[in-house]
């Protein structure tokens, strides 16, 4: 869900084009959910920076997509932390990793606050017990959308829930965007990447074509993207 951070004297978030939302920072170029990735995202023109929020055992909120740190840190190369390696069952899977401090949610907020312009934050709660108790159809129902619009300005659904694919081709769009817009809720689907392996066959290995489809044909209000430079250059040329 989207929110804003900033001071009144700063340049506000633009409203003349769909929002550019940095998925875990500029992680197409730097390790995801790190200070460097978020600073690069802001430098590259992100309107919002997105993070995944997990709670640590001692009650701190940290920014991490996974419960292990191998994907974003070099902890495996530090023998002094070898005794902290543990195995757990998480969401039905056996995972092994280390306990190691990374960027906190407070630090994430400060990155946005101290930017030289207003930058929105877009936190995602990982493993949310309350939300997970409800089905997809419940949380995308008209009644639920009407309930959340009193607090939130937008929703960030998976793009496959808006246009379900089949055999890596686009299927028939659902009515989720239309129903959300009818309630004055913005729609910001995730995630848009430039690698061919993440593009549906309809786009013929052209990420620009995917952007155009979602912005002009589906009519979404913003995109979660890995490559901010490409997205920004696409829109600035129009």
What is the average pLDDT value for the chain, to the nearest integer? 81
The total of structural domains in the chain comes to: 1
Backbone angles phi, psi at 63, to 5 degrees: -100, 105
Q: What CATH number did the domain enclosing 194 receive?
A: 3.20.20.190
Greater confidence, 70 or 230? 230
Say which residue the tokens 């729609």 belong to: 187
Q: Which of these, 47, 2, 13, 46, lies nearest to 154 by C-alpha position?
A: 2
Per-residue pLDDT tens over the stretch 164-205: 999 999 999 999 999 999 999 999 999 998 888 889 999 998
Greater confidence, 162 or 33? 162
The answer to the question of residue 30 being in a domain is: yes
The answer to the question of residue 81 being in a domain is: no
Alpha-carbon distance 221 to 238, whole Å? 16
Domain with 46, as residue range(s), is 3-64+102-236
Q: Please give the pLDDT value at position 221.
A: 97
The answer to the question of residue 86 being in a domain is: no
Query: pTM to 2 decimals?
Result: 0.77
The answer to the question of residue 79 being in a domain is: no
Strands 93-97 and 86-90: antiparallel
């Amino acid at each position: 869900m989207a929110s804003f951070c900033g001071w009144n004297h700063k340049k506000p978030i633009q409203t003349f084009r769909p929002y550019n939302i940095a998925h875990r920072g500029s992680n197409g170029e730097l390790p995801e959910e790190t200070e460097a990735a978020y600073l690069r995202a802001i430098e590259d023109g992100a309107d919002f920076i997105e993070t995944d929020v997990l709670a640590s055992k001692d009650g701190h909120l940290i920014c991490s997509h996974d419960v292990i740190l191998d994907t974003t840190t070099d902890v495996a190369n530090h023998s002094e932390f070898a005794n902290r390696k543990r195995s757990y069952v998480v969401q039905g899977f056996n995972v092994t990793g280390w306990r190691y401090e990374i960027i906190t949610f407070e630090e994430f907020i400060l990155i946005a606050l101290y930017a030289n312009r207003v930058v929105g934050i877009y936190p995602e709660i990982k493993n949310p017990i309350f939300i997970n108790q409800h089905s997809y159809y419940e949380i995308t129902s008209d009644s639920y959308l009407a309930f959340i619009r009193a607090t939130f300005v937008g929703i960030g659904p998976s793009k496959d829930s808006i246009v379900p694919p089949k055999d890596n081709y686009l299927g028939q769009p659902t009515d989720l965007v239309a129903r959300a817009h009818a309630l004055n809720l913005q729609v910001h689907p995730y995630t848009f990447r430039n690698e061919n392996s993440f593009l549906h066959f309809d786009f013929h290995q052209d990420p620009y074509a995917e952007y155009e489809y979602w912005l002009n044909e589906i009519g979404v209000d913003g995109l979660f993207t890995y490559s901010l430079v490409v997205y920004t250059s696409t829109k600035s040329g129009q």
